[in-house]
Amino acid sequence: MSGLIETLGLSGARPLFVKEVLRFWKVAFQTVAAPVLTAVLYLLIFGHVLQGKVEVFNGVGYTRFLIPGLVMMSLLQNAFANSSSSLVQSKITGNLVFLLLTPLSHRAWFVAYVGASLVRGLAVGLGVFLVTGWFAPPGLAEPWWAVIFAVLGGTLLGALGLIAGLWAEKFDHMAVFQNFIIMPMTFLSGVFYSVHSLPPFWLGLSHLNPFFYLIDGFRRGFFGVSDVSPWLSLGVVGSATLGVSLVALHLLKTGYKIRH
């Protein structure tokens, strides 16, 4: 096993992974509890206003419909925030140089940063699920789909956060990426509504958003129904995750904006 790890260039990934997990866990009230509270506020506001007025799937109330979307939204946003903020913070404080002095390969960097982002995303998502599920248990009709899309979503956004962190030189740059790319794609992915309720133009635009397939596939795990086939969602999300991961690995290998 150790020989395989050496061959893949993953030696040293574990200590960096543990460091990244401890980094967010030491301030869990801010990195885990706060996003859970935000999701609960969304549920209370939208659920109170629209419960009984909107029914997307037969027999599924709006509050139950909303919960999986909030879980995945929280997971995605926090997976992205973990890797991106860690890299930007390391650049600003200057301690990134200590990582550059180590013999860690670009694959080890990727596994550690994305792995820690996945852990944080899943921790927040689980917290949101447990707290919001108390208001209206959504059930788990096909739980394997929920697990698959949760892992893929955390990996995709962790890798995307890695790219953003490499590109950004200060927190202002990070805010641009977060506010103009991540937030719009998240809110326009069907978290609060079914995309089939949109006009044709916006419906077609939604189908170009990979976040829509993450939300829809994840929701399939709870209700056994979805707007599109879960296999189509799996193909789109899998391709997006692979593509973004390859870009992140290439940037790490070339030392983009970190080796100068």
* pLDDT reported for residue 7: 41
CB under 8 A, 24+ apart: contacts of 136-143: 136/47, 136/61, 136/63, 136/64, 136/67, 137/64, 138/64, 138/67, 138/68, 138/222, 138/223, 139/64, 139/222, 139/223, 140/221, 140/222, 141/221, 141/222, 141/223, 141/224, 142/220, 142/221, 142/224, 143/221
* pLDDT reported for residue 205: 82
Rounded (5°) CA angle 256-258-260: 100
Which residue type does 19 have? K
Distance CA 112, CA 89 (A): 16
* pLDDT reported for residue 53: 57
**Tens digit of each residue's pLDDT, the chain (260 residues):** 444 344 445 767 888 999 999 999 999 999 999 999 999 999 888 876 666 556 666 777 788 888 999 999 999 999 999 999 999 999 888 888 888 888 888 899 999 999 999 999 999 999 999 998 888 887 888 999 999 999 999 999 999 999 999 998 888 888 888 888 888 888 888 888 877 777 888 888 888 999 999 999 999 999 998 889 999 999 999 999 999 999 999 999 998 888 75
* pLDDT reported for residue 54: 60
Distance CA 215, CA 232 (A): 13
Which residue type does 25 have? W
* pLDDT reported for residue 3: 47
Distance CA 185, CA 182 (A): 5
Q: What is the pTM of this model?
A: 0.91
Q: What residue segments make up the domains of the chain, in order of their start?
A: 2-254
Q: What does the block give as tokens for 156? A: 């995709």
Residues in the chain: 260
Structural contact between residues 80 and 223, judged by C-beta atoms closer than 8 angstroms: no
